[in-house]
Amino acid sequence: MDKKILIIQHKMIGDVLTSSILCEAIKKKYPNATVHYLINEHTLPVLENNPFIDEKMVYTLDMVKRRKAAKEFRSQLASQAYDIVIDVYSKIGSARITKATKASQRIGYKKWYTKAFYTDLYTYHYTAETKAGLAIENRMKLLQAIDTNFPKALKPKLYVTDAEIASAKAKLADVKTYPEQKLYMIGILGSAPNKTYPLFYLAILLDHIVTTTDAKLLFNYIPKQIEQVDALLALCTEKTRHHVLKEIYGKSLREFIALTTQCDALIGNEGGAINMAKAIDVPTFAIFSPWIRRAAWSLYENDQNHIIHLQDYDTALYNTKSLKDIKKRTDYYYSLLKPEMIQEKLDVFLSKH
């Protein structure tokens, strides 16, 4: 098959990384196909060096803010003459883009407000068939409209260069007190406040990690989050503060990825950082927000990738409350997920990584 295919995935880094498996699946099955990937500008770094993407179509902030810019972009896409468009995002904005391409085959998820924009519709499944998890399986199902013989799952991958790894090693060359000392990357903040484990609880876990393992800790943060970093450190013991390498952090997304390759594990809030660590085969210990559907993002959960979710400790709650209800009171439900409840599983994880 030598068709021209566009895959659309707006928004977050974790989503873009996960949906990149569609590019890989198509190019492996149809090497002569041309695959373009439409993503938001800030997510570009997770696609660097990806050999399965022929061209990245970038949706910029200007297009978000200005209708004229968005309209011009849709016209540009129409001129590409795509044969197939796969809209993983499947919301109003991306549905309009999909229709504007005038592709003969337009694939998306079945939603009442966008179904008229597509030629092929798929319904979300809520029971995983593989260890990959629903976020991956539901994406791969979109390929069934092209061919029914695609695999059920593929693992997302990041492509880190030798130069990036060498630079990370140089930055970390003298941080360990002794060679066997562990180095953990800590995802201290989620992508939003309602996806962030309370800092006073996280401080208790960090104290526990340092006391148990004597590990050195890196924080995943950007300069504008320094006040939250300092607030967290103020809640930690003096020993923990001395084990945090505050001055070493990823000054870009690619630098963060490279630094993470040198860590024994990534521990912290579920989100893009966790997904990136999985994509470079670094063990992960993810604390989920109570309102995030556990099954949706429990990707490749195994001895290397642990997941903590309030649902694991209070199943009855999720039988009586909807995720929408829980989201309205995220702070309260986070408060129920106490550090003491997490420590037993964390100890098992730390003993292996």
The reply to whether domains 4-145 and 163-352 share a CATH topology is: yes
Query: Dihedral of CA 132/45/57/67: which sign?
Result: positive
The domain ranges of the chain are 4-145, 163-352
Provide the pLDDT for residue 295. 84
Instruction: Output the pLDDT for position 141.
Output: 96
Taking only the tens place, the pLDDT of each residue in 96-128 is 999 999 999 999 999 999 989 999 999 999 888
Q: Examine the pLDDT at 337 and tell me if it is beyond 90.
A: yes
Report the phi/psi class of residue 298: left, alpha or beta, with left for phi > 0 and alpha for psi in -120 to 50: beta
pLDDT of residue 296: 84
- Residue 106: closest CA among 79, 146, 73: 146
| Record: fold of 163-352 | Rossmann fold (3.40.50)
Share of the chain above pLDDT 90, in %: 92
Q: So what's the pLDDT on residue 61? A: 84
CA dihedral over 25, 59, 113, 106, signed as positive or negative: negative
Give the per-residue pLDDT at 241. 98
Q: Tens digit of pLDDT for each residue in 5-40?
A: 999 999 899 999 999 999 999 999 999 999 999 999
What would the CATH number be for the domain defined by 4-145? 3.40.50.2000
In angstroms, rounded to a whole number, what is the distance separating the alpha carbons of residues 273 and 298?
Answer: 14
**pLDDT one-digit tens code per residue, 238-278:** 999 999 999 999 999 999 999 999 999 999 999 999 999 99
Q: What is the pLDDT of residues 155-212, one digit of tens each?
A: 999 999 999 999 999 999 999 999 999 999 999 999 999 999 999 999 999 999 999 9
H or E element, residue 129: none
